[in-house]
Chain A
């Protein structure tokens, strides 16, 4: 947290373990799900926001952490059967527009979860973002 953030009353970013704990306490949490070993990436980061993708063996979660609000938000999740087919092929379509803004590109996760920003400073090459997401899904869901 920067000094300027402190004097405006912002909180610190939430740590990955706290996010995992929150997901575990969620009423829709499936006991077959292994959240402790979930892998994650941060695909959008500014001074006040960061956005996570957490991938467990059952679901992918999108978490928006905005330090100007009281707590982070679990914005959506996608079940395994909408991410990968029975042959182990990834069926989640990612639409990436790297020219959306100067510092941010835009990414759609399939047809439903659309209009998310990603930081070009983290992912200057959009194919690397696509590759990282696919790699996480393959790593956790083909186990």
Chain B
């Protein structure tokens, strides 16, 4: 959960500084909800992974792997669902 929080915080700061989100999150609205969801998501995925004996979240590397990878995989999958849609061309005037 800690690494999930650190990962979303780092992505938010990068977005604020450079306008780019590696998680493809826009941070336009619901900032608190975004932090809550992605942090708690890490906890749940870590718990399920540990329960299924996929990894040991008491170890630093495992916790880091779960916290970061689940956010990258899930966020990009969700963003991909929106990106498949047609959109108005940027140069249309």
Query: Chain A: residues with CB nearer than 8 A to chain B?
Result: 4-12, 44, 46-49, 51, 64, 66-70, 75-76, 101, 103-104, 112-117
Known: A46-B87, A115-B89. A70 touches B28 (CB 8 A): yes
Q: Would A7 and B38 be within 8 Å (CB), given that A68-B28, A76-B93 are in contact?
A: yes
List residues of B (76-93) whose CB comes within 8 Å of A's CBs: 78-79, 81-82, 85-89, 91-93
Total contacting residues, chain B, CB less than 8 A: 25
**Shortest Cβ distance from A48 into B: residue:** B82
CA distance A67 to B87 in the complex (A): 12
5 contacts between A and B (CB under 8 A): A8-B34, A9-B28, A51-B88, A67-B28, A115-B91
Residue of B24, B86, B88 most packed against chain A (CB within 10 A): B88
Minimal Cβ-Cβ distance residue in A for B23: A8
Partner of A7, one of B37, B86, B91, B93: B37
Tell whether, in the assembled complex, residue B87 and residue A6 are in contact, meaning their CB atoms are under 8 Å apart: no
Task: Name the CB-closest residue of A to B92.
Answer: A115
Contact A4–B78 (Cβ < 8 Å): yes
A8 and B33 within 8 A (CB): no
